[in-house]
Amino acid sequence: MTKRYESWGKYPKHQPALVHRLRWHTETPPFERFGRPVLAYGLGRSYGDVCLNDNGVLLDTARMAHFIAFDAERGLLRCEAGVSLKQILDLVVPRGWFLPVTPGTKYVTVGGAIANDVHGKNHHREGTFGCHVTQFELLRSTGERLICSPTQNSDLFRATIGGLGLTGLITWAEIKLRPIRSVYIEMERIRFGSLDEFFDISARSDARFEHTVAWLDCIAQGTSLGRGVFLRGNHSEEPGPLTPSKEPKLYVPFDFPSFVLNPLSMRAFNTFYYYMHTPARSHKRVHYEPFFYPLDAVRRWNRIYGRRGFIQYQCVVPPTDRVEVMRELLTVIARSGRASFLAVFKEFGDVASPGMLSFPRKGVTLALDFPFEGEATLRLCEQMDAIVREAGGVLYPAKDARMSGEDFRRFYPQWETFSRYVDPAFSSSFWRRVTRT
């Protein structure tokens, strides 16, 4: 089957003019012969156009996926940039190690995790993925190979972490892992009825739990507005099995018809999901797989959104007026009738990221998936943009497919400083869209 180079959200639909596949980190692509802007492409799990390069060249790194060194005593791993987080878990979990920070899917490459400076449920403790990168090699289009670390080529280190793949090609990286005693997570699940209740639980959880996150019923209105389910957990301290998860058996074989996801089906799902968690508070010991990667249980789950795809919207707003801002966002969404059944809510901590353009910062983050329904979906996002803008918040480039260039430049005023480190041969559909004047 011919590989399709699209984003996970399948919107927008851009195509490269050329794909150059890499197998080893020692290869140097023929940059001088391309004559078009270049961008690395891993597993295509970015939601919008940050991983796309319309009419340009994609450097496919999916096969550049070899381990280089692993110090099992210190938990220090060096691997090629195309290695996925799943491949890392398969290697290190049996040896008592785990990823220090992980996003909601393990099907992302190390290069992608660095380029988007991904975060996870433990941001309030451990910061972003970039906080645990000790060094990497950056191949510039001149052929120069630079070792970048907090002390060596430190400006390029900061620009590349969260740098959207624009500073050159990350060929390999070294990350520091965290120890575990088993695959189990001691998990607590708590149903909450309002935003005030969420923030109260979150405040009481951060000191005791490494991982915290919540699902929100973004369709609920009136007295039910802001209700959801809070999830918190720690790696189990009891010795136990160290067996990684197997490949998922469930698979979505085709794009669903667009009528499957509609306001009625989403309302039914949200109501069912909220009330299915009985009792209102529970404790359970679970494998890390359903705790960190519930959506990975179904391969190609993005097909439930149909051929038109979906837009993921993720913002973070400062703690000031957080309840009022979130209430305003949820009210706009509920009234629009364009609901999301994947609404993730979390408080970020104040651990600073080393990345120059990194998205996470202290505040409250909300991530939502909307089926793409053309202008109606875009208008809803623009309404939400105005609220985020007014509150002093920002949007996440890795999830974005439509933010205006004006908003990007306002949200990330350091973008001009960052531009000095962009490799002249590299670009992306996202970068051209948001820097176009």
Average pLDDT over residues 70-91: 98
Reference 176, options 236, 135, 234, 127; nearest CA is 135
Question: What is residue 94's predicted lDDT score, i.e. its pLDDT?
Answer: 98
437 and 50 Cβ atoms separated by less than 8 Å: no
pLDDT > 70 fraction of the chain, expressed in percent and rounded? 95
Average pLDDT over residues 265-294: 81
pLDDT tens figures, 149-194: 999 999 999 999 999 999 999 999 999 999 999 999 999 999 999 9
In three-state secondary structure terms, 304 is helix
For the cut 80, the answer to whether the pLDDT of residue 416 exceeds it is yes
pLDDT > 90 fraction of the chain, expressed in percent and rounded? 82
**Domain ranges within the chain, ordered by starting residue:** 184-402
DSSP class of 3: P
Question: What is residue 278's predicted lDDT score, i.e. its pLDDT?
Answer: 63
Question: What is residue 337's predicted lDDT score, i.e. its pLDDT?
Answer: 80
For the cut 70, the answer to whether the pLDDT of residue 258 exceeds it is no
Give 39's pLDDT tier (boundaries 50, 70, 90): very high
Number of neighbouring beta carbons within 10 Å of residue 156: 22
Average pLDDT over residues 239-251: 85
For the chain, what is the largest distance between any 2 Cα atoms, rounded to a whole number of angstroms?
A: 63
- DSSP string of 74-119, one letter each residue: TTEEEEETT-BHHHHHHHHGGGTEE-SS--S-S-SBHHHHHHTT--
pLDDT tens figures, 349-370: 999 999 999 999 999 999 999 9
Greater pLDDT, 346 or 337: 346
Residue 73: φ, ψ to 5°: -80, -40
User: How far apart (Å, rounded) are the C-alpha atoms in residues 101 and 124?
Assistant: 11
Give 4's pLDDT tier (boundaries 50, 70, 90): confident
Q: State yes or no: cis peptide before 29, omega within 30 of 0.
A: no
46 and 8 Cβ atoms separated by less than 8 Å: yes
Greater pLDDT, 208 or 263: 208
Crossing angle for the helix pair 195-205 and 322-336, to the nearest 10 degrees: 130
H or E segment and range at residue 131: none
Question: What is residue 255's predicted lDDT score, i.e. its pLDDT?
Answer: 79
Task: List, in order, residues 6 or more apart from 300 with CB less than 8 Å away.
Answer: 251, 252, 253
Please, what CATH class does the domain formed by 184-402 belong to?
alpha beta
User: How far apart (Å, rounded) are the C-alpha atoms in residues 118 and 401?
Assistant: 17
What's the N-to-C CA distance of the chain in angstroms?
39
Task: List, in order, residues 6 or more apart from 208 with CB less than 8 Å away.
Answer: 232, 234
**Torsion angle, CA of 388/390/392/397, rounded to 10 degrees?**
40
H or E segment and range at residue 125: helix 123-126
User: How far apart (Å, rounded) are the C-alpha atoms in residues 279 and 143?
Assistant: 60
Question: What is residue 157's predicted lDDT score, i.e. its pLDDT?
Answer: 98
For the cut 70, the answer to whether the pLDDT of residue 324 exceeds it is yes
For the cut 80, the answer to whether the pLDDT of residue 264 exceeds it is no
User: How far apart (Å, rounded) are the C-alpha atoms in residues 105 and 293?
Assistant: 5
Question: What is residue 5's predicted lDDT score, i.e. its pLDDT?
Answer: 95
Average pLDDT over residues 37-42: 98
Question: What is residue 1's predicted lDDT score, i.e. its pLDDT?
Answer: 55
256 and 306 Cβ atoms separated by less than 8 Å: yes
User: How far apart (Å, rounded) are the C-alpha atoms in residues 290 and 283?
Assistant: 14
**37 to each of 40, 54, 171, how far by Cα in Å?**
11, 9, 18
Question: What is residue 435's predicted lDDT score, i.e. its pLDDT?
Answer: 96
Question: What is residue 437's predicted lDDT score, i.e. its pLDDT?
Answer: 65
What's the number of CA atoms in the CB half-sphere (13 Å) around residue 45? Answer: 25
- Residue that has been written with the tokens 């790194």 in this structure: 61
Reference 345, options 333, 354, 357, 355; nearest CA is 333
Strand order in the sheet with 363-371: 281-287, 184-192, 228-235, 211-216, 344-348, 363-371, 310-317, 394-395
DSSP class of 246: P
Whole-model pTM over 0.75? yes
- DSSP string of 24-61, one letter each residue: -TT----HHHH-S-EEEESS---SSSTT--TTSEEEE-
Average pLDDT over residues 9-28: 97
Residue 417: φ, ψ to 5°: -60, -45
